[in-house]
Amino acid sequence: MKFYLLPTIFLFSLLAGCAAQPTTSVVLTVRPAATDTPVPQAQAGLEDVVGNLEYSGILPDRSIKLNDGYANYEDGSSKLPYVELAGNLIPGGDLNGDGSLDAVAVLVDNTTGTGDFVYFVPVLNVLSEPVPLQAFLVGDRIPVKSLAIEGGQVTAELIMPGLGDPSCCPTQNVRKVYEYENGQLVEKSSQERGRVNLADLDGTRWRLVDLNHDQEPLLPETEITLVFDQGQISGFAGCNDYSSPVTGDEELPQVFSVGPVALTGKLCSDPISTQEASFLYRLESVVAWWYDFGYLALTYKIDENSLGVLRFEPQAP
């Protein structure tokens, strides 16, 4: 399954006035902890089910069958667009009050144009006889901070376009609530919650889950953490504790810089020391942050034409 690269594309668009996009990209990502999402074993079970279903309402003239969360389709162009499941963000709960576990699949239609359309799809009876309902279009290039099912309602924390925002680069925190009605998902309320700001991350704690895709897998015996606190970041880099100031940008709220990094002086043997150096090098090159379907993505600059992303998952306070 491919990684969804909206944060990388977003940053190039943001810094270049929504004009340029990277020629290559590598992604490092961070995911926040969510109390409403299933435990890892249950999450894996849901991903296996919803990642292999047939969905309608995404393509105008046909349904599309996912295989391990992914499916190409033809649109008459020379390139192959695809639909992909955001497998790390599949909330479970009872949507229709029948006592059976339901879920919401988050699907992204990565078109051959500029659009990456985000859909929420209710899946009833997900662990017994799964029934995907009509896909609900959330919007184009909409970052999803979190998604939860509680009391029969679906609550989504989203980043939506504000007044004057270009379609590539939304800046408004919005909470939307949906309910299951007459066989489909219906939006019941929408609440604006202020402009995106680096201070939104204050008090959050994260654990690194993706350093550089399969090219540089994380060592299983180490843990790398990240904590935000009033203009400072800190954490454990695998061998040493570290800390650093971070500086935001008032005009471009997702843009920020890190450094210099202060480090304790403990010596560790390879491969731990090599992994720590690799992480810190990338951290010092971070230029932006973004939400990537439940993950926190810290985007760093590789060169003028490519970016990487550090990916973290949330930790409890």
What's the full length of the chain, in residues?
317
User: How, if at all, do strands 225-229 and 232-236 pair?
Assistant: antiparallel
Nearest to 235 by CA among 200, 269, 208, 195: 208
pLDDT of residue 76: 82
Torsion of CA 245, 170, 195, 119, to 10 degrees: -110
pLDDT of residue 78: 77
87 three-class SS: coil
> What residues contact residue 175 under an 8 Å CB cut-off, 6+ apart?
155, 156, 157, 158, 190, 191, 193
- What is the set of domains in the chain, with CATH numbers? 36-196 (no CATH), 204-315 (2.40.128.270)
CA pseudo-torsion sign 265, 271, 275, 277: positive
pLDDT of residue 72: 94
Write down the residue that tokens 């998902």 correspond to. Answer: 185
**Spatial separation of the C-alpha atoms in residues 3 and 64, rounded to whole Å:** 19
pLDDT digits (tens, 9 = 90+) for 184-228: 999 999 999 999 999 999 999 999 999 876 678 899 888 999 999
**Terminal C-alpha separation, the chain:** 31
pLDDT digits (tens, 9 = 90+) for 99-131: 999 999 999 999 988 889 999 999 999 999 999
pLDDT digits (tens, 9 = 90+) for 238-267: 999 999 999 988 788 889 899 899 999 999
pTM: 0.82
